[in-house]
Chains A and B, each alone.
Chain A
């Protein structure tokens, strides 16, 4: 079953602006990952944050994790048109099975 909820479901911004997506989950996790999916394509792994980490950076990506609130956020700074895609959070518990969130559809307009 899907345990993650993402907010917003859809986000439309102008190129150069920052995009923030939020993910909430229900059970304890070992780590949380963010993936990007271009329309009709597979998923691309963006970043992984472990349960004992609070913040992680990778290029223009910044991920935070608050285990007390069971939530995570993904910030994309200085967005580009090429960032247009769906973004999913996914959590793992005891094994390496991923449970995906509902996804955020990001549209970056020129």
Chain B
């Protein structure tokens, strides 16, 4: 159980285009999803927290107009990198917290397999 998928797994795009990455919780409802960015051989940097039905909360230094997040349902959150540039090239990973049997959140986050974005 607790599987999170991401699509696409890999995307190459031209500078100036927009790219949408999907994050889905397959067998549980995720009230909260998280988006991370990871540079090669580095740790994960939290970009934003996405709550179903409300606006995302962005971490300091993350441009919300650059990285658009939508969490339209309890199983889907999307990250759109707008007007992508080569410096946006990175590994983007989402995670989801399930609501738990009693309805509250659990402490464990389940991670997607990541999306490798390359902007030419």
Contact = CB atoms under 8 A, between A and B. Distances in A.
Interface of A: 1-2, 30-31, 33, 35, 40-45, 48, 88, 92, 96-103, 105
Interface residues of B, number: 27
Interface class of chain A by DSSP: strand
Contact of B93 (A1, A42, A96): A42
Nearest to B41: A105
B7 interface: no
A45 B110 contact: yes
List of 4 A-B pairs having minimum Cβ-Cβ separation, nearest first = A43-B111, A42-B111, A42-B113, A100-B43
Given A41-B114, A97-B34, A102 B107 contact: no
B116 A96 contact: no
Contact of A48 (B41, B45, B46, B107): B107
Contact of A96 (B6, B44, B107): B107
B43 A97 contact: no
Contact of A2 (B43, B49, B91, B97): B43
